Each structure stands twice: as structure tokens, then as C-alpha cells.
């Protein structure tokens, strides 16, 4: 498991609290005492232990303005830690840690994906252009290039995390960013559709004008893999997920068919977009729940459970409806 460096600023009483929180752990630990009685601590721990350390400190110091914590990545540690642990964690603790990064780190990573701004909007437009050219030229390599850019994957993962944690602010941001991305991509392809004509016989277009059970299974598996990659902090895995469940190629397909007057095919491509969104969010929420990603306090946990259950019901019903419509048409 990867490691993290915690930089923690504590009030005078905080050192004993930190010792109590660390318990039998034997981390790499150094500190500097300040003139006002506060202290700055640097601790290197396994990434899956960060959440338990931060939760323990926040439980006793959350109201103290002198308490601050920063989580930093660790490239390497010399000499290599031997992983001494005087007491093995209980089965419950192992289940809670589940070899994942801390809740706060996961939130920060996905919150960055919904910040928006000129870079996000430009990325969406460029990805839409690349996807459109790849589709009309029937070039899988070019379409894969648009898939790898995948600007809409992050906002959808953020949406799944927001419903899992009951984070309403992140929920609003992810919905806005998803809507913004879809509208921008749609407008971009509609403009390109004035130049390029959608030929239903083109293989890349025809493949995205239908929804099959294998498409749904692919999206479910890819959404689960994406959530696992985010919670494990393994960003390299995301490239495969981006290619497998990219949303822009079917979106571009729908827009191209729309400008060409192929409304039935455009509707089927739009169904594939919705099916991918449903499956990604459904499987991602399930994985986040399985990985014990949940708020720190009990009242936040109670609220998040209601929102997560509502999300599961909504996405599950949407999946069944999509299957029924796909079977009917």
C-alpha cells in the first residue's frame, strides 16, 4: 500500500491526543515545537491508515482553531519501513480500512474534477471535436483518443461519491458540471454536423446507435473499476475505464444523427448515453458503499444512508427502465 505524509499542527494539549490516536502504530514521526505551545508534526503512515488518524484527531480537536492537517503524497521512504505493528488491527478495522485512501483525499480528488473553468470547457469541446472526426472517418484510433480525454468521467464519479457521503454541495457541483459538459459537447457537435453528414452505414456510428445487455454490463463493470481506482489511489487504472465507458462518442453520435434528420438513431444513441451514466453511477455507489466510504459523524452517516439508498433506488429503476425500452425497440 502507498504511504502518505501527514503534516499536523496541534495545540499544546494535542501531542498526548495524537499519541493516543496512533496507539500501537510505529510510524515515522518528527515534530517541531512552536513558541506558543503549539507543535507541527510530520508522520508517515500507510494510505489506508490516514482516515482513522484524522478521524481520531477531529473527534477531539475539531473545535480548536489551532488544529490543522495536510495530507501529502510520499514518493519513497529510506530506509524502507518494515511495517512493524505491535498489534494487528481487528477484523472490523480491516473491513473499515479496506486498503483505500482516506475519505478526505478521495473528496479532494473528485472535488477537483468538478471545479470547471476554461480548461474543463475547452477539454470538453476538444474531446467532442476529436470524437466527431473519428466517428465520421470510421477511425477507432481517433475515437479512442476522444475516449482517453474523458472529461465527463470525473463529474460522474463525483456524483456517485456525493450521493454516498450525503455531500450536497459536491452533489450540486457534479450535476452542474455534468450538465455543462453535455450541453457544450452537444452544441459543438451540432455545429460540426453542419459540415459532416452522419452515414448510418459507418461502423463507428452504427455501433453507438443501439443499447445491448453487453453495453450495460460493460458500463457496470467499468464504473466499478473506476470507483475502485479512485478509492485505491491508482490513477493508471483510470485510462482503461475512460476508454471502456466514455460518454462523448455516443453523445457525438446522437448529435450527428440529429443534424442529419435520423431521429430514431439519434434517440437510440441518446439511450446509450443515459445507460452509461446510469450504470457508472449505480456501480460506483455500490463500490463506495462496499469500501466503507462514509462520513465521520453518526448524524452525517444517517443522512448519507438515506441519500445513498435513494440513489440506488433511482439508478436501479432507471437501469430496469433502460433495459425494458432497449428490449422493446
- Domains detected in the chain: 3-97 (3.30.70.120), 103-328 (no CATH)
| Buried-exposed string 62-83: b where 16+ CB fall within 10 A, e elsewhere | eeeebbebebeeeeeeeeeeee
Res 99: pLDDT:
73
- Per-residue pLDDT band for 241 (boundaries 50, 70, 90) equals low
- Contact of 174 with 268, CB cutoff 8 Å: no
Backbone angles phi, psi at 29, to 5 degrees: -140, 125
Tell me: pLDDT of 223 over 90: no
Structure confidence at residue 239 as a pLDDT band (50, 70, 90): low
List pLDDT tens digits, range 124-139: 999 999 999 999 999 9
Instruction: State mean pLDDT over 27-52.
Output: 82
Residue 20, number of CB atoms within 10 A of its CB: 11
| Pairing status of strand 39-46 against strand 28-33 | antiparallel
Phi-psi region of 308 (alpha: psi -120 to 50; beta: other; left: phi over 0): alpha
- Is the pTM higher than 0.85? The answer reads no
Q: State residue 196 phi and psi, 5-degree precision.
A: -100, 140
Residue of higher predicted confidence among 79 and 187? 187
Q: What is the overall mean pLDDT for the chain?
A: 84
**In which band, very low, low, confident or very high, does the pLDDT at 243 lie, cut at 50, 70 and 90?**
low
- The predicted pLDDT at position 170 comes to 93
Mean pLDDT for the stretch of residues 227-237: 76
The candidate with the shortest Cα–Cα distance to 36, out of 19, 12, 64, is 12
pLDDT tens, 258-300? 998 899 999 999 999 999 999 999 999 999 999 888 888 878 8
Amino acid at each position: 500500500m502507498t504511504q502518505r505524509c501527514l503534516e499536523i499542527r496541534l495545540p499544546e494539549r494535542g501531542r498526548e491526543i495524537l499519541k493516543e490516536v496512533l496507539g500501537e502504530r510505529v510510524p515515522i514521526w518528527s515534530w517541531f515545537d512552536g513558541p506558543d505551545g503549539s507543535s507541527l508534526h510530520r508522520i508517515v503512515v500507510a494510505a489506508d491508515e490516514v482516515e482513522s488518524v484524522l478521524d481520531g484527531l477531529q473527534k477531539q480537536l475539531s473545535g480548536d482553531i489551532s488544529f490543522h492537517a495536510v495530507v501529502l503524497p510520499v514518493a519513497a521512504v529510506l530506509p524502507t519501513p518494515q511495517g512493524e505493528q505491535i498489534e494487528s488491527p481487528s477484523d472490523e478495522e480491516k473491513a473499515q480500512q479496506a486498503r483505500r485512501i482516506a475519505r478526505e483525499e478521495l473528496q479532494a480528488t473528485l472535488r477537483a474534477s468538478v471545479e470547471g473553468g476554461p480548461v474543463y470547457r475547452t477539454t470538453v469541446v476538444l474531446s467532442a471535436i476529436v470524437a466527431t472526426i473519428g466517428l465520421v472517418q470510421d477511425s477507432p484510433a481517433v475515437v479512442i483518443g476522444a475516449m482517453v480525454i474523458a472529461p465527463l468521467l470525473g463529474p460522474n464519479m463525483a456524483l456517485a461519491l456525493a450521493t454516498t457521503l450525503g455531500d450536497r454541495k459536491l452533489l450540486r457541483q457534479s450535476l452542474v458540471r455534468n450538465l455543462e459538459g453535455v450541453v457544450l459537447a452537444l452544441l459543438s457537435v451540432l455545429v460540426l454536423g453542419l459540415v459532416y453528414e452522419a452515414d448510418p452505414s459507418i461502423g463507428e456510428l452504427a455501433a453507438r446507435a443501439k443499447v445491448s445487455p453487453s453495453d450495460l454490463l460493460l458500463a457496470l463493470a467499468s464504473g466499478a473499476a473506476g470507483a475502485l481506482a479512485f478509492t485505491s489511489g491508482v490513477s493508471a487504472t483510470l485510462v482503461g475505464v475512460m476508454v471502456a465507458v466514455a460518454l462523448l462518442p455516443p453523445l457525438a453520435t446522437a448529435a450527428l444523427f440529429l443534424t442529419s434528420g435520423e431521429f430514431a438513431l439519434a434517440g437510440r444513441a441518446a439511450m446509450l448515453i443515459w445507460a452509461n451514466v446510469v450504470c457508472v453511477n449505480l456501480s460506483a455507489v455500490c463500490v463506495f458503499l462496499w469500501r466503507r466510504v462514509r462520513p465521520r459523524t453518526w448524524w452525517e452517516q444517517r443522512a448519507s444512508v438515506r441519500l445513498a439508498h435513494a440513489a440506488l433506488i433511482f439508478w436501479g429503476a432507471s437501469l430496469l427502465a433502460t433495459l425494458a425500452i432497449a428490449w422493446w425497440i
